[in-house]
């Protein structure tokens, strides 16, 4: 029987390997509306990203058709761009084979692959924000993105925070000339050589949101191709993040089940009762103390508490 983790990876591989036509058809299914994190009543990350990808691929195909009779150099440029899109999708589709199906490693590999594929990018990272908590760097290719996330967290402002919380794309061509986040800008200029930034909102779920960010030291390092390819990787990052979240939830569920099982065994031995009676005792103690059963079970296993 396939595990929850295997099923999730199977869904991921199938999604990233879709052609433009298959993806457009998929957008009309109920499944697409539930891919990726979403706020209640809003379009899912996977569905929104799928729409963007179809638009990019369609525009690219139109460019190919429009330039069919153009000079060879122009046709080669458009063809090269199409190849980059295909290679980016293929890179993501192949990642799972190189990381032994570990979701967190897949996230790191994705960020590294994105850095090499997005024109102009030297570094990349994923910023995760939670309300009233410091922002975190979930994955990074260099210390500079980590430093910039620390600055944003302390100043409570910055392009990656804005992209994550507002779920849109932000492009900075010259950080020194950008006055949208002055406190962040001044410290970032002092502590890092980063001058160009490209940030994509990846998902927002309740009080948690995230952004995929690309960085470069030269000014004006990113162009339209960078934005399009960055969006493709932002799409796949949203899907990978869903895998990570599911895997974490699955691990927590297994841990809780094991701890509750151990606690039931200890209660059964202490009071000479069967498994069903032991669980009833734990559940009653949970209700009386307004404490989740799993947390109460941890106290029982640790020897700090025994229900009566």
β-strand pairing of 133-140 with 123-130: antiparallel
Name, in order, each residue with C-beta under 8 angstroms of 168's C-beta and a sequence gap of 6 or more: 201
Give me the mean pLDDT over the 34-48 stretch: 53
Model confidence at 98: pLDDT above 60: no
- Tens digit of each residue's pLDDT (9 = 90 or more) over 103-132: 667 778 888 888 988 999 999 999 999 887
Model confidence at 6: pLDDT above 60: no
Tell me the C-alpha distance between 46 and 43, whole Å: 8
Query: What structural domains and CATH numbers belong to the chain?
Result: 120-222 (3.30.450.40), 251-302 (1.10.10.10)
Name, in order, each residue with C-beta under 8 angstroms of 253's C-beta and a sequence gap of 6 or more: none
Confidence of residue 231 (pLDDT cuts 50, 70, 90): confident
Judge whether 217 and 193 are in contact, CB under 8 Å.
yes
User: pTM for the complete prediction?
Assistant: 0.62
pLDDT at res. 243: 66
Percentage, residues of the chain above pLDDT 90: 27
Higher pLDDT, 6 or 159: 159
Model confidence at 77: pLDDT above 50: no
pLDDT at res. 146: 95
Model confidence at 71: pLDDT above 60: no
């Amino acid at each position: 029987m396939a595990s929850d983790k295997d099923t999730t990876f199977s869904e991921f591989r199938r999604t990233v390997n879709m052609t433009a036509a298959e993806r457009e058809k998929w957008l009309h299914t109920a499944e697409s509306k539930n891919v990726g994190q979403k706020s209640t009543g809003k379009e899912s990350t996977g569905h929104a990203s799928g729409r963007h990808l179809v638009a990019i691929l369609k525009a690219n195909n139109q460019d190919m058709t429009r330039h069919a009779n153009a000079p060879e150099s122009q046709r080669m440029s458009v063809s090269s761009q199409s190849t980059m899109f295909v290679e980016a999708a293929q890179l993501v589709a192949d990642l799972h084979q190189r990381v032994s199906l570990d979701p967190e490693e897949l996230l790191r590999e994705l960020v590294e692959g994105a850095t090499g594929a997005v024109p102009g990018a030297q570094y990349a990272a994923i910023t995760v924000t939670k309300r009233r908590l410091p922002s975190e760097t979930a994955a990074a290719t260099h210390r500079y993105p980590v430093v910039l996330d620390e600055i944003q967290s302390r100043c409570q402002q910055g392009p990656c925070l804005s992209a994550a919380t507002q779920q849109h794309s932000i492009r900075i061509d010259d950080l020194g000339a950008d006055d949208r986040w002055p406190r962040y800008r001044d410290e970032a200029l002092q502590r890092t050589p980063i001058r160009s930034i490209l940030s994509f909102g990846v998902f927002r779920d309740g009080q948690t949101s995230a952004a995929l960010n690309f960085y470069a030291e030269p000014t004006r390092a990113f162009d339209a191709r960078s934005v399009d390819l960055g969006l493709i990787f932002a799409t796949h990052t949203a899907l990978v993040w869903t895998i990570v979240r599911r895997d974490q939830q699955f691990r927590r569920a297994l841990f809780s089940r094991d701890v509750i099982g151990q606690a039931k065994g200890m209660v059964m031995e202490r009071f000479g009762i069967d498994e069903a009676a032991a669980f009833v005792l734990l559940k009653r103690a949970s209700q009386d103390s307004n404490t989740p059963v799993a947390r109460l079970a941890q106290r029982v296993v640790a020897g700090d508490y025994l229900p009566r």
